[in-house]
Amino acid sequence: MSGPEMTLETPARRYRMTFRTVRSLAYVSVIELGTVWERTLRRARIPVRYSQGFTPRPRMHFAAPLPVGCGTEADLLDVTLTEPMTPDALLAALEGAAPRDLYIVAATPVDEAEPALSEQLVAAEYDVWLREVDRDVVQSSAERVLAAETLDLPRRGKDGKTYDLRPLVLAMDPIPDLPAPWSGLRMLLQARTGATGRPDDVLTALGFDTAPRRCTRTRLILETGHSEEER
């Protein structure tokens, strides 16, 4: 959500970066990805604002950590600057500064008073490709999961405790026309603080947790009703 008088030509101090990662960067943690971004901004000489205290950190905030093993087509990162820049100047400075496998898609100015991305995020969409899993089995398994009233799975790191995955699965559909030997599912999962669906947990519920796979987060949806693709 941009301020009422903010345009794409308006110099701004806070920017929403839309980016995608592939290959090597699909397997890094959110901490490592933050380091990649910090180095990229430093290399581009972007005037990033830092926090106060003994260990100042750049004012950067991701919408949500990527599951390890997932790439992203359009993830979001908010960056706050010490002085305003236009979007064109920011993108020009970043050109050539990003490492291989990190692609900056857009830089959109946002109001500095806008809530943090993590507070606005409500859902995330994933494309998961499964190798050598029959497409009819994929479809019937998805129908079974969507028809279930509850899907109790063990909580990570909490012996004996379970949680209900079913409310976190908002939608799930087969991905058509994938080349052999691939089949796939497009999952729309809730992504609110304290109530986030994970693709790996959905695959466990489906019975495909050991199947070879590829995963890409294709969309993030904010509470305003706008995703990064619509910005």
Q: What is the pLDDT of residues 44-55, one digit of tens each?
A: 999 999 988 788
Asked if the structure places residue 1 within a domain, the reply is no
Kindly state whether residues 94 and 26 are assigned to the same domain. yes
Asked if the structure places residue 97 within a domain, the reply is yes
Taking alpha carbons only, the member of 60, 67, 33 closest to residue 189 is 67
- Can you tell me the distance from the alpha carbon of 231 to that of 85, in angstroms, rounded to the nearest whole number? 19
- Structure-block tokens of residue 30: 């959110």
* Cβ pair 30, 65 in contact under 8 A: yes
Residue 75 CB neighbour total at 10 angstroms: 26
Check residue 2 and give its pLDDT.
44
Residue 146: CATH number of its domain: 3.30.70
Asked if the structure places residue 22 within a domain, the reply is yes
Q: What is the pLDDT of residues 90-149, one digit of tens each?
A: 999 999 899 999 999 999 999 999 999 999 999 999 999 999 999 999 999 999 999 999
Q: What is the DSSP string of 94-136?
A: HTTTSPTTEEEEEEEE--TTSPPHHHHEEEEEEEEEEET--HH
- Given 114, 136, 155, the domain boundary residue is 114
- Given 81, 114, 147, the domain boundary residue is 114
Kindly state whether residues 74 and 135 are assigned to the same domain. no
**CA-based angle 9:217:182, to the nearest 5?**
135
Residue 214 belongs to what domain range? 120-229
Kindly state whether residues 133 and 224 are assigned to the same domain. yes
- Can you tell me the distance from the alpha carbon of 17 to that of 81, in angstroms, rounded to the nearest whole number? 13
Asked if the structure places residue 88 within a domain, the reply is yes
Asked if the structure places residue 133 within a domain, the reply is yes
Kindly state whether residues 100 and 125 are assigned to the same domain. no
Asked if the structure places residue 2 within a domain, the reply is no
Kindly state whether residues 42 and 134 are assigned to the same domain. no
Kindly state the percentage of the chain with pLDDT values over 70. Answer: 92
Asked if the structure places residue 4 within a domain, the reply is no
Taking alpha carbons only, the member of 114, 104, 41 closest to residue 75 is 104
State whether the Cα torsion 157-163-166-168 is positive or negative.
negative
Q: How far is CA 139 from CA 121, 150, 172, 176, 227, in A?
A: 28, 19, 9, 11, 27
Asked if the structure places residue 44 within a domain, the reply is yes
What's this model's pTM, rounded to 2 decimal places? 0.86
Residue 136 φ/ψ, nearest 5 degrees = -65, -35
Check residue 171 and give its pLDDT.
97
Number of domains in the chain: 2
- Can you tell me the distance from the alpha carbon of 185 to that of 208, in angstroms, rounded to the nearest whole number? 11
- Structure-block tokens of residue 58: 């750049």
Residue 27: CATH number of its domain: 3.30.70.580
- Given 59, 89, 114, the domain boundary residue is 114
